[in-house]
Amino acid sequence: MAATGSTTRNDRALAHPLDPLSAEEIERTVTVLREGRPLGDRARFVEIVLREPAKDELARFESGEAVPREAAVVVLDSAATHEAVVSLDGGTIRSWQEVPGVQAAITLDEYVECEQAVRADQRFREALMRRGIDQPENVMAEAWTLGAHAEPGEEHRRLAWTPCWFRESLADNAYARPVEGLYAIVDLDTMEVLRVEDTSDVPVPAASGAYRADQVGPLRDDLKPLEVMQPEGPSFEVSGNEVRWQKWRFRVGFTPREGLVLHTVAYHDQDRWRPILHRASYAELVIPYGDPSPGRFRTNAYDIGEYGIGPMTNSLELGCDCLGEIRYMDAASHDSKGTPTTIRNAICMHEEDVGLLWKHYDWQAGDSEVRRSRRFVVSSIITAANYEYAFYWYLYQDGTIETEVKLTGIVLTSAVHPGERPAYGRLVSPGLSALNHQHFFCVRLDMAVDGYANDLHEVHTEGVPVGPENPYGNAFRAVATHLRSEREAQQLIDPLAARFWRVSNPLQCNAVGDPVAYKLVPGANVMPFAAPESKDLARAGFVTRHLWATPYAPRERYPAGEYPNQHSGGAGLPEWTRADRSLESADLVLWYTFGSHHIARVEDWPVMPVVRIGFSLMPDGFFDRNPSLDVPPPPAHACHPSQTAEGASQ
């Protein structure tokens, strides 16, 4: 790994309208709000983020007009959630309003304070003593949102519950020793422990679950160095938050809720920049668990909507999974007091070789043409308690866009009686069960295929019945169906029919007369197994379809709604699409949900090897021919043949 640079921005005057807020802008926003509103001492700044300008404002900016720089803020004060917009140019509060009946996302400070309150509670300490644990400071009590499982009369309170694990030292695997059946219910506004549930006599497992390099015994000694070198430097340029590589141009963004965001993705073709995506982000991540036991039935998390993955983003100074010439970007964030923080090297950018791009050997002419594929990688990694999620966006020389998540970290565990086989998990160590669960990611794609007037088609392949049209029984064809409204666009994958979805621009045609288009090609996927009438599925209605489509609306940003924390359900995509709005020649937003299904293996313990999942956006008539024909052949010196087996033995 070669950490060859870090990009940050401190001068607000030079900001592009889509650049994330700088630390100075965050600080200015907080100052304006504290001076303009009577905020209490316990007020928490849940989110301070750029209020992204409208598309027409961006168009005026490209023509030379100034665009106001504004911050959108979510503040938790006096047990109420408030939204504000602050003008950074004028230093004024443009709007302030309370949002009744919602709970804002949990902040990292609340997460820490909740654990401290639980450890200090006498009822909790006594429950630990009954299990032979006299070191409450060594008990990890994680603050999980309560979802829709508040007790009657407590729905209005800001609540968390705390599954627990015991570690003898910080060198232990934090999830190896569950304190089974011991949970606290905490009011996060007051940090009052409302009650302690003690429902199990299962002993704490004995094994430490060690996985660090100095704990696992002799390491392999037969790995030869594998180095990626670019002696002339990388083939991409970074200017502020704008990145250019090969024929691609885009802007990198970052928000406290979504983390890494891509803006204005375009490809240079036919002597102009052709837009493909206006904005792309991971808009929600929900992890439903499948254990109905006391307490455990609550295990369900919205890492994006209930917590926000921005502050969870790793500083890659502490470990990077990339090889080669890397460029980093820092990310400005903040704590719940509104104090700016900086995540150093939050975003990693590099290019990598990915094998064959295209090839043909002409046996009659006796020649071969081959090109190697190179892709540009933009990535960030978050740690959400036990799990790591590494988010990747890939741009290819042939115009393909891919996104992928690499899941790793430590599986969530519960303890079982010695000799017991768990019904809703898998034994990974004696007395230790890894809970059955799923991970559902929803990516929001604000499309702009050669402009903002786009159509959507479902395309599948079907065989033609034997008859006059198909006398030999060999015929099959692709069938495209125009999805004209939001209800028609609610779709599931169908790999047996090779289903994909095409986004086209009816106003722009390619060389063969077809509308230019990109297609969304699904990868691995799954459906939820929660019952349709369950509270968890009511909140996560968006996971019941793999594809949704909506006409662009500025406030429709998150598939489970703005405030999923303790929401009873129905918000977001299910609510918006009841209107069944038209999608014809629309400013189209696609929402694609894909799930990783995890029935644990013993090999997933004590730390889980990476699992990959994602999907592709591929040009489908967007170009007039293969756009990578102009990629040069690889140089002859790029190949270093090894000795033959016979030569190596001599």
Q: Which domain holds residue 161?
A: 108-198
Q: Which of 135, 168, 198 is the last residue of a domain?
A: 198
Shared domain for 463 and 587, answered yes or no, is yes
Whether residue 207 is contained in a domain is answered as no
638 pLDDT band (50/70/90 cuts)? low
Q: Is the pLDDT of residue 644 over 90?
A: no
pLDDT, tens digit (0-9, with 9 covering 90-100), for 403-419: 999 999 999 999 999 99
Shared domain for 172 and 288, answered yes or no, is no
Backbone angle region of 91, left / alpha / beta, with phi > 0 → left and psi within -120 to 50 → alpha: left
Closest residue by Cα to residue 86 from 29, 42, 127, 4: 29
Active site residue 604: no
What is the pTM for the complete model shown?
0.95
User: Secondary structure of 31-47 in the HEC alphabet?
Assistant: HHHHHHCCCCCCCEEEE
Active site residue 387: yes
Shared domain for 324 and 427, answered yes or no, is yes
Whether residue 629 is contained in a domain is answered as no
Distance CA 11, CA 27 (A): 13
Shared domain for 326 and 439, answered yes or no, is yes
Q: Is the pLDDT of residue 6 over 80?
A: no
Q: What is the DSSP code string of 317-351?
A: GG-----SEEEEEEEEEE-TT--EEEEEEEEEEEE
Shared domain for 131 and 177, answered yes or no, is yes
Shared domain for 443 and 472, answered yes or no, is yes
Could you tell me how far CA 524 lies from the centroid of its own chain?
16
Whether residue 417 is contained in a domain is answered as yes
Q: Is the pLDDT of residue 322 over 90?
A: no
Distance CA 276, CA 267 (A): 7
Q: Is the pLDDT of residue 270 over 60?
A: yes
Whether residue 324 is contained in a domain is answered as yes
Whether residue 144 is contained in a domain is answered as yes
Whether residue 235 is contained in a domain is answered as no
How many other CB atoms sit within 10 Å of the CB of residue 320? 19
Q: Is the pLDDT of residue 116 over 80?
A: yes
Q: Is the pLDDT of residue 9 over 50?
A: no
Containing 58, the helix (H) or strand (E) segment is helix 55-62
pLDDT, tens digit (0-9, with 9 covering 90-100), for 194-235: 999 999 999 999 999 999 999 998 999 999 988 888 999 999
How many structural domains does the chain have? 3
| φ, ψ at 91 (rounded to 5°) | 65, 40
Report the CATH number at residue 294.
Answer: 2.70.98.20
pLDDT, tens digit (0-9, with 9 covering 90-100), for 511-528: 999 999 999 999 999 999
615 pLDDT band (50/70/90 cuts)? very high
pLDDT at 641: 63
Shared domain for 267 and 338, answered yes or no, is yes
Q: Is the pLDDT of residue 12 over 90?
A: no
Check: CB of residue 268 under 8 Å from CB of residue 245: no
Which pair of structure tokens corresponds to residue 206?
A: 């004995």
15 pLDDT band (50/70/90 cuts)? confident
Report the CATH number at residue 187.
Answer: 3.10.450.40
pLDDT average, residue stretch 249-255: 98
Residue 451 gets which letter from DSSP? S
pLDDT, tens digit (0-9, with 9 covering 90-100), for 358-367: 999 999 999 9
Q: Is the pLDDT of residue 480 over 80?
A: yes
Q: Which amino acid is at 73?
A: V
Shared domain for 356 and 495, answered yes or no, is yes
Q: What rounded mean pLDDT belongs to the chain? A: 94
Q: Which of 198, 232, 258 is the last residue of a domain?
A: 198
Q: Is the pLDDT of residue 640 over 80?
A: no
User: What percent of the chain is predicted at pLDDT more than 70?
Assistant: 96
Shared domain for 161 and 30, answered yes or no, is no
pLDDT, tens digit (0-9, with 9 covering 90-100), for 532-564: 999 999 999 999 999 999 999 999 999 999 999
Whether residue 605 is contained in a domain is answered as yes
Is the CA virtual torsion 499, 503, 505, 506 positive or negative?
Answer: positive
Q: Is the pLDDT of residue 91 over 50?
A: yes
Q: In 3-state terms, what secondary structure has residue 139?
A: strand
Check: CB of residue 547 under 8 Å from CB of residue 616: no
Sequence-separated (6 or more) residues with CB below 8 Å from residue 66: none
Catalytic residue among 302, 387, 389, 396: 387
Shared domain for 292 and 415, answered yes or no, is yes
Shared domain for 477 and 419, answered yes or no, is yes
Q: Is the pLDDT of residue 646 over 70?
A: no
pLDDT average, residue stretch 500-505: 98
Distance CA 186, CA 183 (A): 10
Catalytic residue among 19, 303, 446, 455: 303
Q: Which of 99, 127, 148 is the last residue of a domain?
A: 99
| φ, ψ at 607 (rounded to 5°) | -140, 145
Shared domain for 152 and 34, answered yes or no, is no
User: What percent of the chain is predicted at pLDDT more than 90?
Assistant: 92
Q: How big is the chain, counted in residues?
A: 650
Whether residue 422 is contained in a domain is answered as yes
Residue 123: exposure state from Cβ atoms within 10 A (0-12, 13-18, ≥19) = middle
